[in-house]
Amino acid sequence: MALRTGFPKGFLWGGATAASQVEGGWNEGGKGLDTADCRPAASHLTTEQRREPAFKEMTSEKIAAAIQCPDAGEYPFRRGSDGYHRWEEDLDLYAEMGLKVYRMSVSWARIFPNGDDVEPNQEGIDYYRRVLEGCRARGMKVFLTMLHYSIPINLVEKYGGWKNRELIDLYLRYARVLFENYGDLVDYWLPFNEMNAGRFLPFNGTALIRDREEHFDQSVYQGLHHQFLASALAVKLGHRLIPGSQIGCMIARFCHYVGSCRPEDQLQMLRDEQYTNWFYTDVMVRGIYPEYMERYFDLKNIEVKMQPGDQQILQKGTADFISFSYYFTQISTVDTAWEKTDGNLVTGSKNPYLTASEWGWQYDPMGLRITLNQLWDRYRKPLFVAENGLGATDVLEPDGTVHDAYRIAYLRHHVEAMREAIIDGVNLLGYTWWGVIDLVSNATMQMSKRYGFIYVDADDGGNGTFDRFKKDSFYWYQKCIATNGEDLGE
């Protein structure tokens, strides 16, 4: 067996966005109001305030105010980056960068404005068909996220979110429309973004409102169970409607390092890995509920209600590939006094050997190599880095340039880490940088937390032209792609 030397031919270099964060156009084209449209701006809050459950969770009061609000006002996702109107210009820029694949999502509320409509909204179907054809015309493959968090608000108000089993059928009605209309235009399908988000950001993931639940954790895991079933049934349906289709799964991967050689810390790390990562991929890839969760459910007084046949559904709908988001690593320890720092979806214990972004996310390319090895060892399924990126404050210079050397350094080191993992033997299909263009941050709802290779001239309050500008990183990634990851120089 010959040692691999680097990125294989055909490696899928790409970029990612999500409908709710990039599109805007919240009330156009027949779209219904969705959960993201109801999340109010929070850029005035401090880091400490943002860690509070009161900020992270949705309340009935906030929802009522949002439903009443007739304009984009204080709701940043209603504006996004104006991608709904500028999609052609954006696809041209992605193609100029040389992207081989574009990971995008469809807004459920554009296809079924209320989620439970009998007929889909043709204007929404046509809109995405144009975008997908635009990708094809520019030579880009498509990695389509069928559900990236936001769902029609009616599904929250009328059904109570994902804890209601009826959402499975409503989701499948939506999934069928996507498979039937876009089967010829999509290369990789993803039924759900970050399945474990339902646990860490319950309004986004499982569409739950804290003050409406008696036993919140019970509702979270019931909702997750319904999402697992919906995902498995979507895999089955997609395979039937589009023979040979590739349908994957995704989690937000939380990579842990043990805080000390104390056995208690080691056990804590095992538990952290099981509860935050392995549970989700074990269900979606192995098709089983792992035994270690029985003990967890018992501890938390949770009883996931299953119907006869559920186990078989999970077994028959396992994912063809595993994708994940990777942003940071954290420490596992039983020491409650350990210094904390923020990370994607969670606040974790800080690693003194690492530096962090302005938002506290610990920068750790080697953790990506470790993660890729761990996932490959456990499942031996093709892997896809669906998200990785650096949120930073960028400065648009008067001449329209943006000098983001920090982003280039971050990207270079993560590309090197992927190359090492490939040489380690990992089967990696591709890499889609998050957010290829500046968009509204999911956790903090800020435009000023910028990820893109393309700058969008808009601030947190939605002021600005929304015009696009290429950052230095745009040209760096362009060269990286053109040389298939060989030229990682300046």
Residues of the shown chain interacting with ligand BG6 in the complex, contacts defined by CB under 6 A: 18, 21, 193-194, 252, 325, 344-345, 387, 391, 434, 441-444, 449
CA gap 254, 355 in Å, rounded: 17
Q: How far is the CB of 343 from ligand BG6 (least distance, A)?
A: 10
Please, are residues 163 and 221 in contact by the beta-carbon 8 Å criterion? no
194 is catalytic: yes
Q: How far is the CB of 130 from ligand BG6 (least distance, A)?
A: 23
Report CA torsion sign: 73, 78, 80, 84.
negative
CA gap 58, 19 in Å, rounded: 20
CA gap 238, 181 in Å, rounded: 12
For the residues of 378-428, what is the DSSP string, one character each?
Answer: HH---EEEEE----B-----TTS----HHHHHHHHHHHHHHHHHHHHT--E
Beta bridge partners of 428: 383
213 is catalytic: no
- Which of the following is catalytic: 61, 88, 89, 194? 194
H, E, C per residue of 97-136: HCCCEEEEECCHHHHCCCCCCCCCCHHHHHHHHHHHHHHH
- Which of the following is catalytic: 387, 420, 486, 490? 387
CA gap 197, 345 in Å, rounded: 7
Beta bridge partners of 257: 331
Q: How far is the CB of 21 from ligand BG6 (least distance, A)?
A: 6
Q: How far is the CB of 340 from ligand BG6 (least distance, A)?
A: 17
Token match 């109570």: residue? 160
Token match 């490939």: residue? 422
Q: How far is the CB of 490 from ligand BG6 (least distance, A)?
A: 27
Which residue lies nearer to ligand BG6 by CB, 21 or 154?
21
Which residue lies nearer to ligand BG6 by CB, 333 or 432?
432
Which residue lies nearer to ligand BG6 by CB, 159 or 361?
361
Element (H or E) spanning 352, and its range?
none
Reduced to 3 states, what is the DSSP secondary structure of residue 221? Answer: helix
Phi first, then psi, for residue 2 (nearest 5°) are -80, 140
End-to-end alpha carbon distance in the chain: 34
Which residue lies nearer to ligand BG6 by CB, 7 or 328?
328
Please, are residues 396 and 454 in contact by the beta-carbon 8 Å criterion? no
CA gap 333, 346 in Å, rounded: 15
Nearest to ligand BG6 by Cβ — which residue? 443
Q: How far is the CB of 455 from ligand BG6 (least distance, A)?
A: 16
Q: How far is the CB of 391 from ligand BG6 (least distance, A)?
A: 5
Q: What's the chain's length in residues?
A: 490
Catalytic residues, by residue number, are: 194, 387
